[in-house]
Amino acid sequence: MVVKHVAMKKHNIHLLISTLFCTLAAVCSCGSHCSTYEFTNDYEHAIAQMGDMCEVSPLRALPVEKRLELARRYSSVLDCSEGFSRVYSNYKFGFVDNDGNEVIPCIYDYVDNFSCGVARVKNNGCWGFIDNCANEVVSLSYDYVLPFSDGLAPVYNEEKWGVVDKCGKELLPCVNDFVGAFSNGLAVVRTEGRWWYVDKTGKDAFSCSYDNAYDFKDGLARVQLNGKWGFIDNSGKLVVPCVYDAISDFSDGLARAKINGKWGFVNKTCKEVIPCVYDYAMEFVGDFARVCLKGKWGFVDKCGKVIVPMKYDDVYDFVEGFARVKVDGKWGFVDSTGTEIVPFKYSSVNDFSEGFACVKYFDDWGYVDKTGNEVIPCIYRAAWSFKDGIAAVDYKDKNGYIDKEGKEVIPCSYSTLYNFTSGIAHAKQDGKWGIVGKAGNVVVETKYFHVRIYLRLGIVSAALKSDGDSYILHYYDFDGNYLGDGEIKDTAFDFLECYV
């Protein structure tokens, strides 16, 4: 199976997602505002929080000897921000500078990237902020802290929220049920069941309080009064009156609104540009939005014109000019004029990518082009979207990659293949791991117990089991050139990621 997720020890999965769970618990304590911050226990998202795997790190420019030293010293080298990269060793986080020098030792249970000169850190269950000299600018004394915004950060202690500045001074003490992020000098606060807004001095910004309220976005905030929703501006003026049963944030100048059980769209001048006549409506993606009427789905444009009639059982947003649609249990595609391009005969389909879409006919997968022709036959147990001209496929329980003519670029002979990153991918064959390149070349032989890609160093480490509890490590560059070796204890596999 082609793997998209990063494999690691259970302990470290818990480490990565613990901050997300902590925040979720804190936000849930305020009731309906779990959606104010977006948290998930999805492992891939947790890894994404640790930094974009595909970024180009300044550490890549260091001499190979220095990069090899970093690979030997740290089990993870993460993303760079403001001249500092997070590093991980022996279950602790620290920072190195762009020359690879350790400027903050690995003593923290968790660290965030630096932003505006400070970073969130956690140690012994307590959160705070440090500067790039490791000085505690906000003491590690809180149950949780959120990032700074507008120079202020929400903090959480004993199930109550407050706000601190970058000197650690509490603008608002931790006595509130909820405090949102500051935006344009304002933040939403909840205490004793009522919501209101405060300014950066901690004073009430407006005289009015609300049944419910959300953070400001693009100068507007959703508020609820007497069970009805609308929008206020930065002065507290109602720009969309509280007459709607539900309302979403604005996206591309339009907000979904519900009244009398029906959905439509309003603009920022309170004009109902698309009447509230639909059973449900989704946000606009590009020029079109999905809408539902009498249990059937279609699309409207931003003027409210129906461009795909409401006759489908299910629809997805347009990608590369085509949308997946379902009728009578079968899937096909329509274009932006509503013309049915791909026939409705497939049990499953994926979005178009690089001009091709994966389609499933009965139990097997293949590919169609934008004319609806099945250009690669449905012969695969599984298939994935094209990226950079190649696509991963599973043929008779073996994995490989094909090009757009259906030719095997990497033969279907591997039990596991990971996605390509920086032109290389993990490959497993006969129980052993190695690295392959996009041209099908073997970068590192499939003979190792484990391989790890240091994306930000341009180095691969490959582990061979030695006597006792030790492993011999071989180091390679991304072209497969041997760089050196090392040794590691079994217990030192403390962050068994595949991409670090």
Hey, where are the domains in the chain? 1-76+432-500
pLDDT (tens place) for every residue of the chain, 500 residues total: 443 333 333 334 334 434 443 444 444 444 445 333 333 333 333 333 444 444 579 999 999 999 999 999 999 999 999 999 999 999 999 999 999 999 999 999 999 999 999 999 999 999 999 999 999 999 999 999 999 999 999 999 999 999 999 999 999 999 999 999 999 899 999 999 999 999 999 999 999 999 999 999 989 999 999 999 999 999 999 999 999 999 999 998 999 999 999 999 999 988 999 999 999 999 999 999 999 999 999 999 999 999 999 999 999 999 999 999 999 999 999 999 999 999 999 999 999 999 999 999 999 999 999 999 999 999 999 999 999 999 999 999 999 999 999 999 999 999 999 999 999 999 999 999 999 999 999 999 999 999 999 999 999 999 998 777 788 999 999 999 999 998 876 544 544 445 55
CA 78, CA 50: separation in Å to the nearest integer?
A: 7
379: left (phi over 0), alpha (psi -120 to 50) or beta: alpha
Backbone angles phi, psi at 270, to 5 degrees: 75, 15
CA 300, CA 252: separation in Å to the nearest integer?
A: 15
Give residues with Cβ within 8 angstroms of 386, minimum separation 6.
353, 354, 355, 356, 367, 404
How many helices (H) does the chain have, and how many strands (E)? 3, 48
Give residues with Cβ within 8 angstroms of 208, minimum separation 6.
196, 236
Task: Supply 444's token pair.
Answer: 């590192």
Long-range CB contact pairs, 248-257, < 8 A, 24+: 248/222, 248/283, 249/214, 249/217, 249/222, 250/217, 250/218, 250/220, 251/283, 251/284, 252/284, 252/302, 254/284, 254/302, 255/231, 256/281, 256/282, 256/283, 257/229
Only one residue has tokens 């670029």, namely: 409
CA 74, CA 70: separation in Å to the nearest integer?
A: 6
pTM for the model stands at 0.84
